[in-house]
């Protein structure tokens, strides 16, 4: 991972300090005003004399307001230059190592990497859960300092992440749903439309008692999926049973055991993540429940390995490379000096009926 050194070398201290401060202004490292001179000297490991010389140059360039007795204010011109800076790299944030995520995620990330490098931009994938924690600000601040002049691609991002990037007005594109109240461009599958369609398919097959096997991701898609799926139930039908899990096999097993033990168990299951589908098939067989005779199953997503399940699972299929190409188009506009527009590009995948949906059992 490439990093930006925050400590200038001795030979050209003033010049390098000017360059570092300009990079910080462009990247939004500071908003409204700079830290105090004492703090900046500590951060950059320079003397106050060197710092003041650099600050005077930036003030003459119209980037800072250094009026006596006031904080060192960042001018509108500096903010405008920050907004128009062209990217040098693309940084993709994902919550875990790519091999642990869905194959289709690795597919679009790999495709995007090829397109970005073809455009002579650096491409970095930052894997890990620190940026997805409840309080990611300190980690994201360090990450921003390490990767100036970047376009940030956030996959399955949390509200805390989106709020942090939104407040700093960084060049950010979401792959996934945007939380209400935030203005960030996004590319996502239309989770509401998918859930509505899945619920309608199950209702048409005669199912009234349904469940959602929902992997908690912290993304806005969780609530969108549940709300849309529940909206389709018929008059007098109970709301869907929400079986939340953390993605681990023990957690999924406990939720399926709970479902099987219910006196009036659901007759249809909507699974949000492909990696949970093999667990559903094998666990239900172990519990003596067959698909679709005892339980109909639809998966919200698709991956190549689902083709090897019998009976074939009903699912929503798409070419994830489309995401990479749409991202590359937006990045190319930024690299060409155009501003990033706030748009929400929703993709509707193709429904593959499979053989996993049937009528409810006679006692259901």
Residues in the chain, overall count: 364
Asked if residue 7 belongs to a domain, the reply is no
Residues 76, 102 within the same domain: no
Residues 271, 163 within the same domain: no
Q: Which residue has the tokens 């172990």?
A: 286
Task: Collapse the DSSP code of 122 into the 3-class scheme (helix H, G, I; strand E, B; otherwise coil) and give the result.
Answer: strand
Residues 150, 293 within the same domain: no
115: left (phi over 0), alpha (psi -120 to 50) or beta: alpha
Average pLDDT of the segment spanning 206-215: 97
Residues 95, 149 within the same domain: yes
Q: Is the predicted pLDDT of residue 135 greater than 90, yes or no?
A: yes
Number of domains in the chain: 3
Q: Give percent above pLDDT 90 in the chain.
A: 65
Average pLDDT of the segment spanning 289-304: 97
In contact, 32 and 74? CB cutoff 8 Å: yes
Average pLDDT of the segment spanning 204-232: 94
In contact, 47 and 41? CB cutoff 8 Å: yes
- Rounded to the nearest 10°, the torsion over CA 284, 285, 288, 291 is 70
Q: Is the predicted pLDDT of residue 9 greater than 50, yes or no?
A: no
Asked if residue 361 belongs to a domain, the reply is no
Residues 200, 179 within the same domain: no
Q: Give percent above pLDDT 70 in the chain.
A: 93
Residues 211, 309 within the same domain: yes
Dump pLDDT digits (tens) for 145-204.
Answer: 888 889 999 999 999 999 999 999 899 999 999 999 999 999 999 999 999 999 999 999
Dump pLDDT digits (tens) for 275-285.
Answer: 999 999 999 99
Q: Which residue has the tokens 């749409």?
A: 326
Q: Is the predicted pLDDT of residue 10 greater than 80, yes or no?
A: no
CATH code of 299's domain = 3.40.50.2300
Dump pLDDT digits (tens) for 99-113.
Answer: 999 899 999 999 999
Residues 162, 223 within the same domain: no
Asked if residue 355 belongs to a domain, the reply is no
pTM confidence score: 0.72
Q: What is the reported pLDDT for 2?
A: 42
Dump pLDDT digits (tens) for 312-338.
Answer: 999 999 999 999 999 999 999 988 888
Dump pLDDT digits (tens) for 48-101.
Answer: 998 998 898 888 888 888 887 778 888 765 555 555 567 889 999 999 999 999
Q: What is the reported pLDDT for 336?
A: 83
Residues 195, 184 within the same domain: no
- Strands 210-215 and 350-352: what pairing? unpaired
Asked if residue 353 belongs to a domain, the reply is no
114: which residues sit within 8 A by CB, 6+ positions away? Answer: none
CATH code of 25's domain = 1.10.10.10
Give first-to-last CA distance, the chain, whole Å.
55
Q: What is the reported pLDDT for 27?
A: 65
Residues 305, 220 within the same domain: yes
Dump pLDDT digits (tens) for 228-272.
Answer: 999 998 778 899 999 999 999 999 999 999 999 999 999 999 999
Task: Record the tokens describing residue 151, joined without a space.
Answer: 């376009």
Dump pLDDT digits (tens) for 23-55.
Answer: 777 766 776 788 888 888 888 888 999 899 889
Q: What is the reported pLDDT for 43?
A: 82
Asked if residue 363 belongs to a domain, the reply is no
Residues 151, 33 within the same domain: no
332: which residues sit within 8 A by CB, 6+ positions away? Answer: 119
Residues 122, 217 within the same domain: no
Mean pLDDT score of the chain, rounded to an integer?
89
Write out the residue range of the structural domain in which residue 110 sits: 89-189+321-347
Residue after which a domain boundary falls, among 57, 84, 111: 84
C-alpha to C-alpha distances, 150 to 113, 197, 198, 333, nearest whole angstrom: 14, 38, 38, 14
In contact, 74 and 64? CB cutoff 8 Å: yes
Confidence class for position 1, pLDDT limits 50, 70, 90: very low
DSSP string, 298-342: EESS--GGGGG-SSPPEEEE--THHHHHHHHHHHHHHHTTPPPP-
Residue after which a domain boundary falls, among 59, 84, 109: 84
Residues 166, 20 within the same domain: no
The secondary structure of the chain in percent helix, strand, coil, rounded to multiples of 5, reads 45, 15, 40
Task: Collapse the DSSP code of 186 into the 3-class scheme (helix H, G, I; strand E, B; otherwise coil) and give the result.
Answer: strand
């Amino acid at each position: 991972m490439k990093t930006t050194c925050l400590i200038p070398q001795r030979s050209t201290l003033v010049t390098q300090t000017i360059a570092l401060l300009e990079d910080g202004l462009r990247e939004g490292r500071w908003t409204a005003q700079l830290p105090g001179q004492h703090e900046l000297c500590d951060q950059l490991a320079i003397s106050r004399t060197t710092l003041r010389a650099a600050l005077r140059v930036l003030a003459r360039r119209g980037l800072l307001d250094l009026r006596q007795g006031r904080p060192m204010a960042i001018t509108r011109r500096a903010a405008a230059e920050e907004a128009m800076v062209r990217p040098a790299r693309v940084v993709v944030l994902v919550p875990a190592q790519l091999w642990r995520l869905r194959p289709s995620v690795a597919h679009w990330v790999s495709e995007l990497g090829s397109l970005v490098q073809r455009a002579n931009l650096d491409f970095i994938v930052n894997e890990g859960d620190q940026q997805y924690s409840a309080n990611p600000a300190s980690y994201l601040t360090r990450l921003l300092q390490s990767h100036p002049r970047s376009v940030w691609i956030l996959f399955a991002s949390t509200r805390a992440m989106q709020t942090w990037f939104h407040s700093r007005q960084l060049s950010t594109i979401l792959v996934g749903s945007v939380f209400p109240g935030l203005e960030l461009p996004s590319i996502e599958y239309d989770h509401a439309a998918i859930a509505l369609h899945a619920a309608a398919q199950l209702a048409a097959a005669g199912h009234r008692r349904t469940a959602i096997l929902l992997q908690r991701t912290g993304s806005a898609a969780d609530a969108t999926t549940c709300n849309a799926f529940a909206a389709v139930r018929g008059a007098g039908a109970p709301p869907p049973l929400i079986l939340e899990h953390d993605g681990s096999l023990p957690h999924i097993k406990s939720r399926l055991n709970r479902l099987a033990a219910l006196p009036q168990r659901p007759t249809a299951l909507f699974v949000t993540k492909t990696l949970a589908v093999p667990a559903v098939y094998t666990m239900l067989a172990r519990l003596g429940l067959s698909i679709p005779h005892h339980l109909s199953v639809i998966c919200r997503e698709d991956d190549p390995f689902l083709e090897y399940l019998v009976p074939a699972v009903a699912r929503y299929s798409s070419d994830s490379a489309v995401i990479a190409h749409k991202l590359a188009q937006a990045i190319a506009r930024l690299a060409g000096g155009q501003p990033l527009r706030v748009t929400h590009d929703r993709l509707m995948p193709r429904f593959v009926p499979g053989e996993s949906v049937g009528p409810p059992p006679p006692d259901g």
